[in-house]
Amino acid sequence: MKPCLANFRFYEELNDFLEPQVHGRTIPYRFGGEPAIKDPIETLGVPHSEVDLVLVNGESVGFDYRLKNKDRVAVYPVFESLDISPLQHLRARPLRETRFVVDVNLGKLARRLRMVGFDTVYDNGLADSEIVEISMRDRRIILTRDRRLLFRKAVTHGFWVRSDDPDTQLREVVRRCDLARQLQPLRRCLDCNGEIESVELAQVWSSLEPLTRRYYDEFYRCSNCYKVYWEGSHVAHMNDTIRQMTEV
The answer to whether residue 124 sits within a structural domain is yes
- pLDDT score of 210: 86
- Number of structural domains (the chain) is 3
Is residue 86 included in any domain, yes or no? Answer: no
137 and 111 part of one domain: yes
Q: Write the CATH number for 58.
A: 3.10.20.30
Q: Indicate the pTM of the whole model.
A: 0.75
Domain residue limits at 122: 99-182
Q: Give percent above pLDDT 90 in the chain.
A: 63
* Res. 175: pLDDT tops 80: yes
Examine the pLDDT at 78 and tell me if it is beyond 80: no
Q: Residue 246 domain-assigned?
A: no
Contact 47, 17 (CB under 8 A): yes
> Is 137 exposed, middle or buried, given 0-12, 13-18 or 19+ CB atoms closer than 10 A?
exposed
- How far apart, in whole angstroms, are the C-alpha atoms of residue 176 and residue 171? 8
Whether 129 and 176 share a structural domain: yes
pLDDT above 80 (res 17): yes
Q: Based on the domain organization, do 17 and 64 belong to the same domain? A: yes
Note the pLDDT of residue 123: 96
pLDDT mean across residues, the chain: 88
Residue 237's pLDDT band, with cuts at 50, 70 and 90, is confident
User: What is the C-alpha separation between 140 and 156, in angstroms, rounded?
Assistant: 9
In a domain, 191, yes or no: no
